[in-house]
Structure 1
Amino acid sequence: MFESVLFLHSWFRWVVLISIISLGFKFIKSWIKNEKWSSADNSYLNGFSQIYYTQLAIGLTLYFGLSPIPKAIISNPDLIKDPYFFFFGIRHALSMILGVGVFHMGKWIAIKKPIESRYRILSITMIVTLLIVISAIPWPKLVYGRDLFRWF
């Protein structure tokens, strides 16, 4: 079960990354062109929210239910000194939760602000979210890196 959920989590990250980038470009373009907020923008924003929260739910399922890494760290706290265990036991999870929090807060602020400032707020939010997510991905050449495309 762990391998199947990890496979899903690994592949679904590309959906999240492509969505962040495309929605970020859409918001930046609309901000620069001074476009009016539309109901389609609400749909894009809510659609991305569902994608991002789904990835978070898959990740939390791995972390708290299926992954042996947090369990190993709890039974042997010295493992936290190892870059692999530190990354997957602490940094990856906290960074991704921070990314979701930044996105959620930026979305909430944008919706509460006047329509004229929504694209600006959401553009900045998407850029910061993207940077956090990119920093928390286990890129292949890193000490704790994994393959870009995980196979069974």
Structure 2
Amino acid sequence: MYTGFLHLHNTLRWLILLIALVSLLKYFMGWFSQKKWGKSDNILGIIFTAAMDLQLLTGLVLYFFLSPITSAAFQNFGAAMKNADLRFYAVEHFLMMLIAVVLVHIGRSKSKKASHSRKKFGLSLVFFGIAYIIMLAAIPWSRVIA
């Protein structure tokens, strides 16, 4: 079960990074060209937010129930904080990704409430962009490349 969830979590990562990149490019072009916010812009934000939520759910299942890494960290949290790998998964990855999910939700909410298209694009671009940077920083690249 652990392996299945880990594969799902890893696959969703690439899908989310792609959706985020497409969203950021579309929102940047919309903001820069002063286009009108359209239905496709709204749907893209919904898809990105939903994908992030699904990723959060799979991550939480791994974190609290299935991962031998976090299980080891929870056995002796003080010792885990002295181990860079355990600390990364037990604290850093978890918190940074949670912050990214919150930023995506804030960006989505603020863009829905904005009255002008340029502001919708700008808010989405800022919040999704910061979330994207945080996600890139929180990905365990050593495991991805190895």
* Band the TM-score falls in, shorter-chain normalisation: over 0.9
1:146: which partner in 2?
143
Q: Distance in 2 between matches of 1:51 and 1:23?
A: 13
| Bigger relative contact order (CA 8 A; separation at least 6) | 1
What is the percent sequence identity of the aligned residues?
Answer: 29
Would you say how many aligned residue pairs link Structure 1 and Structure 2? 144
The separation in 1 between residues aligned to 2:48 and 2:74, in whole angstroms, is 34
Supply the distance in 1 between the matched residues of 2:43 and 2:111 (Cα, whole angstroms): 14
TM-score by length of 1: 0.89
Instruction: Give the structure 2 partner of residue 115 of structure 1.
Output: 116
Change (3 A) 1:73 1:67: same
Over residues 27-67 of structure 1, what are the superposed CA-to-partner deviations in whole Å (9 max), with x where a residue is unaligned?
00000010111122211111111111111111111001111
Instruction: Say if 2:18 is the partner of 1:9.
Output: no
Amino acid in structure 2 at the alignment position of 1:133: M
2:131 corresponds in structure 1 to 129
User: Where is the helix percentage greater, Structure 1 or Structure 2?
Assistant: 2
Secondary structure (helix, strand or coil) at the match of 1:7 reads: helix
Name the residue aligned to 1:70. Answer: 70
What does the per-residue CA deviation read over 1:91-111, in whole Å, with 9 as the maximum and x for residues that have no partner? 101110000001111111121
Q: Which runs of 5+ in 2 are unaligned?
A: none
Q: Contact 2:49–2:108 (CA<8 Å) still a contact in 1?
A: no
Q: Distance in 1 between matches of 2:145 and 2:115?
A: 40
Which digits, 9 at most, give the CA deviation of each residue in 1:52-83, with x for residues without a partner?
11111111110011112222222212122100
**What is the DSSP-based 3-state SS (H/G/I as helix, E as strand, rest coil) of the residue aligned with 1:81?**
coil
Q: TM-score, normalised by structure 2?
A: 0.93
Offset of residue 148 of structure 1: 4.0
Q: 2: CA distance between counterparts of 1:41 and 1:9? A: 26
Runs of 4+ in 1 over 4 A off after TM superposition: none
CA–CA distance in 2 between the matches of 1:75 and 1:21? 38
SS, match of residue 81 in structure 2: helix
- Cα deviation for residue 147 of structure 1 reads 2.7
CA RMSD in angstroms comes to 1.3
Query: Which residue of structure 1 aligns with residue 86 of structure 2?
Result: 85
